[in-house]
Copies of this chain bind each other. A is one copy, B any other.
Amino acid sequence: VTSPDDRALSRFLADVERRSSDLEILTGDDCVRRYSDPFRLRSLGDGTVAAVRPSGGTAIQDIVRSANEHGVPLWPISRGENLGYGGSASFGDAAVILDLSRMNRILAVNVEDAFCLVEPGVSFVDMHDHLQRHDLPLWLSVPGYGLGSMVGNALERGVGNSPYGDHASQICGLEVVLGDGELVRTGMGALSGSGMWQRQRAALGPRYDELFVQSGYGVVTKMGLWLMPQPEASAAIEIELSDRDGLGGLVETLTSLKRQAYIQDSPVIASFLTMAALRSVRSDWSDERRALNLEESRRLRDALGLGWWNARTRLYGPVDMVELCLGHVEKALRPFADSGVRVSRWRRGEPIENAHRGIPSGGGLANAQWCGEGGAHVDLAVALPLSGAEAMRHALRVMDLLESVGVDYHSAFYLRERHMLNIVQLLFDRNDTAMCEAVEAAYKMLIIDASMRGYGVTRAPAHFRADAMAVFDFADHALSRMGARIKAALDPGAILSPGKDGFPAEIRPIGSLPTAR
């Protein structure tokens, strides 16, 4: 698919407008502004030429079919809030944004089996409000920014630190419009009227849910997600570790606690700037065009009462189990807790107070202002083995690389079952061209450097996707080649999310519109 010419676009827009009774269409500069990525690094023309905003129903199928007929690529977004990873902006070739945010129905919430079925427009805040309004004992795993879509977040491998924090893993059942307009329900949803759609992951045959995570194979129009049943009790634990080089020991200790099942969530260990960027701006500490130095960093930590590393974890369960676990966790963490182990207990019936307990907020974006008015960030997630030594090695390596290009080290480690996710945020000033260039170079260096240790990036903005995919090179990029074959089978016109998959150019399937219909 090449960029649609004005005539094809006009015909497409006229066509979808005629077919749908309740469709908003946006064009022109307002549209481009609305859907551009506020954090985009480069002045790449982001390709947006128009946007269509259906309210639901069969409109999506009509739009996708029409896009195939007229050769107009679509860039589906849920709510377009995937900030740090590209926002709502399309990539590369001109495309029409398929904005699903008006499809915002909560179709089911089941308390007993703890699941929901939602449309792409439902945000974490929407679901939180719904649960509060109906007094439902279910807890959300929330990402840093609560105004994003639950569907979009899971599809883009968003994370939280609750036991349900690997959001893509909580998907149970999808409704999808494939690239040629065919409507499919996965899993038990394929048995018409089945009550098992959100209860049972695999039907007969392969499970297809994860095929639509981070892909351009289809447009997800409904998603089942598992939620966390409200526990009887919980305990939040926070510590500050002042010694930068103590990271390894802390990782080993938390891993051991997690392996003994004393910890149920994904403990997070965040570098001080991650916290500092929520409460201050860079110019409070330095005006130099380089990464903060040791002295500035120390002054900052002292002023804000932060450790070099700041760890939090939360225990969940019946009261007696939480107390038992807490005893072990407190004791094990004490040697690392330079200002003591802070514990905050909660029991069912008490008011729920903070974000760790699943209250989504819009506050996660505050850190974007770190570099001032033009502040922005691009994020990079790399998975490492659950090893203290490797965490330390990787942290030092990333610090060095960032320092070499004058970028501060904002980093958090999420400890999972058999790996550890390291999310690094590169905060920069969009108005500073040299800095943008430095960040772009640093991002690519980080991808390549990680790959040399056998680590791959799990999330990346669309314009870094090709770089991030390039490292998956086994058998001459066989994985991308397989992806391209599935892409061609499910989106034969190559209409959806052009370029998003990041397949190397030479194996990207060339779009050919289906001839027979």
Contacts and interface: CB of A to CB of B under 8 A. Distances in A.
A394 interface: no
A460 B456 CA distance: 38
A188 to B, nearest CB: 6
Given A194-B456, A211-B206, A215-B205, A489 B479 contact: no
Contacts of A259: 229
How many monomers of this protein are in the complex?
2
A183 interface: yes
Interface string A69-93: 0000000000000000000000000
Interface in A176-226: 178, 182-186, 188-196, 198-208, 210-215, 217, 226
A262 interface: yes
Interface string A401-443: 0000000000000000011000000000000000000000000
Interface string A155-189: 00100000000001100100000100011111011
A489 B485 CA distance: 6
A516 interface: no
A472 B113 contact: no
Nearest to A186: B479
Nearest to A481: B182
A106 to B, nearest CB: 18
Contact of A204 (B178, B324, B458, B488): B458
Given A113-B386, A196-B454, A454-B194, A204 B468 contact: yes
A125 interface: no
Given A385-B195, A455-B196, A474-B185, A202 B206 contact: no
Nearest to A487: B489
A17 interface: no
Given A202-B210, A479-B185, A474 B191 contact: yes
Interface stretch (A5-13, A267-275, A314-322, A368-376): A314-322
Contacts of A182: 475, 478, 481-482
A471 interface: yes
B190 A473 contact: yes
Contacts of A198: 418
Contacts of A172: 418
A202 B191 contact: no
B205 A261 contact: no
B456 A188 contact: yes
Contacts of A472: 190-191, 203-204
Contacts of A211: 206, 208, 211
Q: How many residues of A sit at the interface, in one of the four size bands?
A: 35 or more
A344 interface: no
A488 B490 CA distance: 11
Contacts of A232: 260
Contacts of A206: 210-215, 217, 483
Contacts of A184: 474-475, 478-479, 481-482
From A205, A472, A475, A490, residue with most partner B Cβ within 10 Å? A205
A205 B456 contact: no
Given A261-B318, A475-B184, A419 B199 contact: yes
Interface of A: 113-115, 157, 168-169, 172, 178, 182-186, 188-196, 198-208, 210-215, 217, 226, 229, 232, 259-262, 264, 317-318, 320-321, 324-325, 328, 383-386, 418-419, 451, 454-460, 465, 468-469, 471-475, 478-479, 481-483, 485-486, 488-490, 501-502
User: Which 3 A-B pairs rank lowest in CB-CB distance, beginning with the nearest?
Assistant: A194-B454, A489-B489, A190-B479
Given A157-B202, A199-B385, 9 more contacts: A182-B478, A183-B475, A184-B475, A191-B456, A206-B213, A206-B215, A206-B217, A208-B211, A485-B489
28 contacts: A182-B482, A184-B479, A184-B482, A185-B474, A191-B474, A195-B454, A196-B384, A196-B455, A198-B418, A199-B386, A202-B210, A203-B456, A204-B456, A204-B465, A205-B214, A205-B469, A206-B214, A206-B215, A208-B211, A211-B211, A226-B418, A260-B317, A262-B318, A321-B324, A482-B490, A485-B489, A485-B490, A488-B489
